[in-house]
């Protein structure tokens, strides 16, 4: 198949999933076209069957807001015509599903029919999409998609609760390339980050409010009172300053390392002992899955889709949102005893293998095929 993928090209989970999906689809013999405003961060190699088409938005002083969705839908029209794209898979409803629908309508004027698969990722539904300013457009574009998928059962429930959805929604969970993730580290790299006797605790996110970064600091504060430990915070975002201030106030500044955005998350996870994800809400928690695939147990909140990924008492532990004492207690249960830590590391890997890329990507292929054949009949 010739597949167009629209996504955010950033470090955010939806962009990462879309990129890894495109790469895997290309390995499986499909032609893949990424259409977005920048080359996706995880898309290192373009090849014979992986292409990137940049959406440019000409700046014009009249516009207070530059019309990205207009530029995107025009680009989609051009790319579908130029490359004979069979199907468009858009990740994150806003504004991608809307722009794709406009492109589809424009193409229909020229008797070209391209179906749209929309994957909802989380904040496009829970935080942003359900805002009254966006809701009618998001509802419309979900209902007008030819197929809709959600990354967890929890997100599907949220979508049906928050919007008036007439379309079928299929759950296709996020996934991970287990072989790639496993043990991508060397001991000498660990030595650069922490002393031998220190446990390494890690958090990776875009440091937004929903991630509750100050809870990460509070949990770590409690852990390091009991055992030697260091905290690695990977990512950039608006809550970074609050986290730095809190770490200083608590007197643990030197033990907290801010690593910024990184393309080497797999390496950092490779020498981590524990991963913290205390989010307010999380449709899935891809960062937790990446940690587990690298054999890192997860201490998380129990909100949204996280319980579908992290299994309490097996791959880690879950607590109520904001219960930093409980999270620290669970973290210490795992960390205090090497045998328990080894057991949880192994179990985290086992749990992650449920989401292996080779099990999940065929589900998307089946949806593409089914959607294309349904649309053939409608033509
Ligand atoms: O919140 C983020 O980390 C970014 C956001 C995004 O859209 O990229 O992540 C959402 O999609 C990810 C991939 O499907 C999920 O793993 C995250 O749980 C989800 N974030 C939230 O629901 C807050």
The average pLDDT across 88-116 equals 96
Check whether residue 134 and residue 161 sit in a common domain: yes
One domain for residues 51 and 166: yes
Q: Which domain, by its residues, includes 298?
A: 178-355
Ligand 1 atom closest to the Cα of residue 279 is: 23
Output the residue whose Cα is nearest ligand 1's atom 9.
13
- Count of Cβ atoms closer than 10 Å to residue 198 Cβ: 16
What CATH code is carried by the domain that includes residue 373? 3.40.50.2000
289 and 349 both lie in a single domain: yes
Ligand 1 atom nearest the C-alpha of 124 is 7
Residue 16: is its pLDDT beyond 80?
A: yes
Model pLDDT for residues 168-215, shown as the tens digit of each residue: 999 999 999 988 776 565 555 788 889 999 999 999 999 999 999 999
Give the separation between CA 370 and CA 148, rounded to whole angstroms.
Answer: 12
How many other C-beta atoms are found inside a 10 Å radius of the C-beta of residue 373? 10
Q: What is the pTM of this model?
A: 0.94
Residues 182 and 163 placed together within one structural domain of the fold: no
pLDDT digits (tens, 9 = 90+) for 151-168: 999 999 999 999 999 999
For position 379, what pLDDT does the model report? 65
Confidence check: pLDDT of 341 > 60? yes
Tokens of 218: 């509070």
User: How many independent structural domains does the chain possess?
Assistant: 2
Q: Are residues 219 and 183 in the same domain?
A: yes
Report how far ligand 1's centroid is from the alpha carbon of 236 (Å): 15
What pLDDT does residue 182 have?
67
- pLDDT band of residue 131 (cuts 50, 70, 90) is confident
Interior/surface letters 10-28, b for 16+ CB within 10 angstroms, e for the rest: bbbbbbbbbbbbbbbbbee
Q: Model confidence over 46-56: pLDDT tens digits?
A: 777 999 999 99
125 and 186 belong to one structural domain? no
Question: What span, in angstroms and rounded, lies between the C-alpha atoms of 178 and 351?
Answer: 11
How is residue 183 written in tokens? 């043990």
pLDDT of residue 325: 98
Task: Please count the CA atoms within 13 angstroms of the CA of 153 that sit on its side-chain side.
Answer: 4
pLDDT-derived band at 87 (thresholds 50, 70, 90) equals very high
- Ligand 1 centre from 191 Cα, in Å? 31
Mean pLDDT of the chain: 94
Q: Tell me the C-alpha distance between 344 and 320, whole Å.
A: 20
The 8-class DSSP code of residue 110 comes to T
Residues with C-beta less than 6 Å from any ligand 1 atom: 12-15, 17, 92, 121-123, 151, 174, 205-206, 210, 281-286
pLDDT band at 126 (very low <50, low <70, confident <90, very high): confident
Of 158, 11, 15, the closest CA to residue 92 belongs to 15
Q: Are residues 10 and 114 in the same domain?
A: yes
Q: What is the pLDDT of residue 264?
A: 85
* Pair (212, 307) in one structural domain: yes
pLDDT at 61 exceeding the cut of 90? no
The 3-state DSSP class for residue 52 equals: strand
CA 151 to ligand 1: nearest atom: 14
Looking at the structure, do residues 96 and 185 belong to the same domain, yes or no? Answer: no
pLDDT at 235: 95
Distance CA 344, CA 330 (A): 12
pLDDT band at 41 (very low <50, low <70, confident <90, very high): confident
- How far is 240 from 244, CA to CA, in rounded Å? 6
Q: Does one domain contain both 86 and 122?
A: yes
Distance 281 CA to ligand 1 centre (A): 9
CA 39 to centroid of ligand 1, rounded, Å:
19
Q: Ligand 1 pocket test: pick from 283, 287, 307 the residue with the most ligand atoms within 8 Å of its Cβ.
A: 283
Count of helices and strands (H, E) across the chain = 15, 13
- Centre of ligand 1 to C-alpha 82, Å, is 32
Are 265 and 205 members of one domain? yes
Q: Which of these ranges, 38-47, 93-102, 113-122, has the smallest mean pLDDT?
A: 38-47
* Distance in angstroms (rounded) separating the CA atoms of residues 308 and 201: 22
For residue 288, report the distance from its CA to the centre of ligand 1, in Å: 11
280 and 372 assigned to the same domain:
no
Average pLDDT over residues 95-112: 96
**For ligand 1, what atom is nearest to the CA of residue 282?**
22
Q: What percent of the chain has pLDDT over 70?
A: 97
């Amino acid at each position: 198949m010739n597949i167009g993928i629209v996504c955010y090209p950033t470090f955010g989970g939806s962009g990462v999933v879309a990129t890894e999906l495109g790469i895997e689809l290309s390995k499986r013999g499909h032609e893949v076209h990424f259409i977005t405003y920048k080359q996706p961060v995880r898309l290192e190699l373009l090849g014979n069957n992986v292409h990137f088409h940049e959406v440019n938005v000409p700046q014009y002083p009249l516009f207070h807001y530059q019309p990205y969705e207009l530029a995107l839908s025009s680009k989609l029209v051009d790319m579908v015509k130029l490359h004979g794209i069979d199907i468009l898979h858009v990740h994150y409803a806003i504004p991608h599903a809307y722009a794709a629908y406009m492109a589809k309508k424009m193409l229909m004027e020229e008797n070209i029919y391209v179906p749209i698969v929309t994957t909802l990722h989380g904040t496009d539904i829970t935080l942003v999409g359900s805002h009254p300013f966006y809701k009618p457009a998001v509802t419309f574009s979900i209902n007008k998609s030819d197929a809709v998928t959600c990354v967890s059962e929890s997100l599907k429930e949220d979508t049906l609760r928050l919007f008036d959805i007439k379309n079928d929604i299929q759950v296709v969970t996020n996934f991970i390339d287990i072989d790639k993730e496993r043990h991508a580290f060397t001991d000498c790299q660990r030595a650069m980050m922490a002393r031998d006797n220190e446990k390494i605790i890690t958090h990776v996110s875009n440091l937004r409010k929903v991630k509750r970064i100050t809870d990460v600091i509070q949990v770590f504060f409690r852990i390091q009172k009991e055992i030697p430990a260091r905290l690695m915070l990977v990512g950039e975002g608006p809550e970074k300053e609050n986290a730095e201030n809190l770490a200083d106030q608590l007197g643990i500044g030197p033990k907290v390392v801010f690593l910024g955005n990184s393309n080497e998350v797999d390496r950092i996870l490779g020498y981590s002992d524990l991963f913290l994800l205390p989010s307010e809400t999380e449709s899935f928690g891809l960062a937790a899955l990446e940690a587990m695939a690298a054999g890192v147990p997860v201490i998380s909140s129990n909100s949204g889709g996280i319980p579908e990924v992290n299994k309490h008492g097996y791959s880690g532990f879950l607590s109520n949102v904001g219960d930093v004492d409980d999270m620290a207690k669970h973290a210490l249960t795992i960390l205090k005893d090497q045998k328990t830590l080894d057991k949880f590391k192994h179990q985290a890997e086992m749990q992650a293998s449920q989401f292996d890329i080779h099990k999940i990507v065929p589900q998307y292929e089946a949806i593409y095929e089914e959607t294309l054949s349904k649309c053939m009949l409608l033509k």
